[in-house]
Structure 1
Amino acid sequence: MKIAIAFIGVIFMVTSCISKSTNTSATDSSVKSVKPQARSYIMYTDIEPDIDPFIEVKGITEKDIRHLFEKMLVADQQYRDSLYNGNKNNEAFYSKKISVNDEANLIILDKIVQEFGWPEISVFGAKAAETSWLIVWHQRGRRHILCKYFDLMESAVARKEMNAASFNHIKVAVEQLSPDQIAY
Structure 2
Amino acid sequence: MKHLLMLPIVLTLVISSSLAETAAHSHAERHQHQIPDEFVPKEPGQGAFASVQEIVELLLSDPQTNWERVDLEALRIHLADMDNVTLHSNVAMESVVDGARFTVTSKQDTVRQSIKNMVLAHSLEMSGTFGWTLSAEGIPEGAVLTVTGPTEDASKIKGLGFIGVMTLGMHHQSHHLAIARGENPH
Tell me the TM-score range normalised by the shorter chain.
under 0.3
TM-score (norm 2): 0.25
Name the structure with the higher strand share: 2
Q: Which has the larger radius of gyration?
A: 2
TM-score (norm 1): 0.25
